[in-house]
A and B are shown apart, each in its own frame.
Chain A
Amino acid sequence: MSSDFYSSSILPFAPIIIKICRAYTNTQEDFEDYYQEVCLQIWRSSDSFKQQSEWSTWIYRLSLNVCMTLLKKKKSRSQYFASDALPDELTEDSRAFADESLEHLYHAIRQLSEVDRGVILLYLEEKSYQEIADIIGTNANNIGVRIKRIKERLKKLLDGKVN
């Protein structure tokens, strides 16, 4: 990957990738792996980018797909290796955001299913229901209900932690 491509096409969108990768990983090491894998996939797949959507939307979609795939792989590996077998929500997060509330929110997000994590991240990034549906590959009509349900779940998870 040339440094030009990285600095012009990926780095401006790094915050998106970081936010997504953080939601799918518990440790700094995993986070760095996921981030680098996403960057690599963007570079590999950039030729297939058809300008039907915005570059940022495409990056959201690709980042979510890569993170979900890596998490699935990790989970299927954990079935075979007992040392890895702790569910994500029970493993200690080796990083911490300076903002405690954000830290709690991320902890709660990581307890959601892979798809729900993607939906809520996109919602928090102020994507429209239609955009969320396009990125996730679902019907826009269902997104509103789903977001409401996810927010209720998050509220329950955060209850007592955030005032």
Chain B
Amino acid sequence: MEKSIESIWKKGFLDSEALVAPKVNNLYNRKSKTIIEKLNRMMKVNIYAILIFASLNMVLYAVLGTPFAGIFILSLSMWLCWVSVKKGKNLKAIDTSLNSYDYLKAYDNWLKTAISGNVKMMRFLYPLIFLASLMPIVHALKVGEATSNAIANSGFHLTYGIPTFAWVIAIAIAILIYAFGGKIYNWDLNMVYGRVFRKLETMIVEMEELRN
């Protein structure tokens, strides 16, 4: 006689073995590995993206007539990537045999140290990149016949063929960027890694609750 699905269901679950609950453990071990792998992967992608962007930027700047500004930005980016790779090597010093909580905490500490170091570095890098990125504009103003004549006849005091007040404004902006460099970096960081950082934080908080 053909069994109905209802009777198969009822009869099947009469066997208590069918409903043995697995132990609630090990989940965080798997999760912590996944989240750290994800962060490392994202950092790697970020480094490649910076290098590719800076290289393309250098080509663009060469076309615009300011190859040295392009090379300067590329050099700064390469230095930034080199520092990141060097810091990444310190990650290997974290003992992977630690339990999930200690491993996540060690990773979090490494991350915080790396970020605070980067904040100091980026406060200098942002203004320098900003000033270098103005060079194609300066070059275009100086090379263009109409613009260079207009500037020369404007009556403003000139420094390297550009009104001095424009240099002052550019330097003032660079100083502001330096002052807010930390905030800009954190905003930038949050845009790229924010979600994963929050996940990592939540995970640590949950694990702390589990330990209590």
- Which residues of A are at the interface with B, using a C-beta cutoff of 8 A? 1, 6, 11, 14-15, 17-19, 31-33, 35-37, 39-40, 44, 97-99, 101-102, 104-105, 120, 124, 151, 154-155, 158, 162-163
Contacts and interface: CB of A to CB of B under 8 A. Distances in A.
A151 B27 CA distance: 35
Nearest to A39: B24
Contacts, number: 73
B5 A98 contact: no
Contacts of A35: 21-22, 24
B22 A97 contact: no
A120 B13 CA distance: 16
A135 to B, nearest CB: 18
A33 B13 CA distance: 22
Contact of B2 (A98, A105, A154, A163): A163
Interface of B: 1-3, 5-6, 8-9, 11-13, 15, 17-22, 24-27, 30, 206, 209-210
Contacts of A120: 5
A151 B8 CA distance: 13
A14 B24 contact: no
Nearest to A28: B22
Given A1-B24, A39-B24, A101 B11 contact: yes
Given A105-B8, A162-B3, A163-B2, A98 B27 contact: no
A40 B31 CA distance: 12
26 contacts: A1-B24, A1-B209, A1-B210, A11-B21, A14-B21, A15-B19, A18-B20, A18-B21, A32-B22, A33-B27, A35-B21, A36-B22, A36-B27, A97-B12, A97-B18, A98-B15, A99-B15, A101-B11, A102-B8, A102-B13, A105-B5, A120-B5, A124-B5, A124-B6, A162-B3, A163-B2
A102 B18 contact: yes
B209 to A, nearest CB: 8
A9 to B, nearest CB: 13
A103 B5 CA distance: 12
B2 A14 contact: no
A31 B18 CA distance: 13
Contact of A98 (B17, B21, B26): B17
Given A97-B12, A105-B9, A14 B27 contact: no
A146 to B, nearest CB: 15
A107 B22 CA distance: 20
Given A1-B24, A1-B210, A105-B5, A18 B12 contact: no
Given A1-B209, A11-B21, 13 more contacts: A1-B210, A6-B24, A14-B19, A15-B13, A32-B22, A35-B22, A40-B24, A98-B18, A99-B18, A102-B11, A105-B5, A154-B5, A155-B5
A40 B18 contact: no
A11 B23 CA distance: 11
A37 B27 contact: yes
Nearest to A97: B18
A19 B11 CA distance: 14
Contact of B12 (A33, A44, A102, A163): A102
Nearest to A37: B27
